[in-house]
Amino acid sequence: MDNAFGQPQTIVVLGGTSDIGLAIARELISPVTRTIVLACRDLDRGERAAAALRDGAFEVVVVHFDGADTASHEALIAGLAATYGDLDVVVLAFGQLGNGEETGRDVTDAAVLAHLNFTGAVSVAVAVANRLRVQGHGTLVVLSSVAGERVRKANFVYGATKAGLDGFAQGLGDSLVGSGARVLVVRPGFVHSAMTKGMKAAPFATTPDKVAEVTVRGLRRGSRTVWAPGILRFVFSALRHLPAPVWRRLPLG
């Protein structure tokens, strides 16, 4: 149960080795933190991330989670709640970047990426939302991306999965109104992280820590959507209306 400051006792990161996911967990740590669950595919990497988070006052546990294995999601979420009590904040932070335009030319790669980033996310998000409904409280944080605001050909399968996830998260949030539970959609721009290592930074690039700050502020305020950095809201408001030929030629990284 959150306290009056929106400080959660139990935090779950789906995609527990994600730089942004871990930064959000770190930012949420407070004297009332009790359990942080890192749910990931690679348990060794998860253990390393857990060790870095552990502080003595709260426990950090690593559990196996495969975003693509939709059949396992319901049982996973039910199991977490049964073991650790009410889930206060669940962060949906898993996904692959894909391989730019090349992914859009390979049938299998495209389908695999779409399944993980979109279908897998939808599946586990529904499981989480159902649990939060039972609890009468709790927040699902969905890491969307500006890449979904207007899809670029440079990475269009990824961008499309984020566009779909974003729309889904908003609809889910609307359907949760009155249940006591909420959804917060976070739209980061280009984030310097393990996922984007070696890539050329886009304008208004940010860091996982900054995204975490924006996210936690949004959680405390009860926001529905937040952009990181905030200025991107206005940037994309404009970019959205660019004629397609102009958009196509923009050097956005």
> Which residues of the chain form contacts with other proteins (CB under 8 A)?
1-5, 7, 9, 30-32, 34, 85-86, 133-137, 178-181, 222
> Among this protein's residues, is 84 annotated catalytic?
no
Contacts of 94 (CB under 8 A, 6+ apart): 14, 15, 18, 21, 40, 65, 67, 116, 120, 121
Counts of helices then strands in the chain (DSSP H, E): 9, 7
Q: Which residue of the set 58, 158, 168, 227 is catalytic? A: 158
Query: Using CA atoms, how far apart are residues 26 and 161, in angstroms rounded to an integer?
Result: 27
| Angle, in degrees to the nearest 10, between helices 73-84 and 121-135 | 40
Shortest separation between residue 237's beta carbon and other proteins, angstroms: 23
Query: Using CA atoms, how far apart are residues 167 and 222, in angstroms rounded to an integer?
Result: 19
Shortest separation between residue 81's beta carbon and other proteins, angstroms: 11
Shortest separation between residue 83's beta carbon and other proteins, angstroms: 13
Extract the runs of DSSP E, i.e. beta strands, from 134-245: 138-143, 181-188, 225-228
Contacts of 128 (CB under 8 A, 6+ apart): 14, 77, 87, 90, 92, 140
Q: 31 or 243: whose CB is closer to other proteins?
A: 31
Shortest separation between residue 28's beta carbon and other proteins, angstroms: 12
Q: 2 or 149: whose CB is closer to other proteins?
A: 2
Q: Which two tokens stand for residue 214?
A: 């924006």
Q: 83 or 248: whose CB is closer to other proteins?
A: 83
Q: 57 or 242: whose CB is closer to other proteins?
A: 57
CA distances from 72 to 67, 123, 165 (A): 9, 10, 20
Cα 15 from chain centre: 8
Shortest separation between residue 122's beta carbon and other proteins, angstroms: 23
Q: 5 or 245: whose CB is closer to other proteins?
A: 5
DSSP 191: B
| 3-class SS of residue 246 | helix
Query: Using CA atoms, how far apart are residues 144 and 191, in angstroms rounded to an integer?
Result: 12
Active site residues: 158
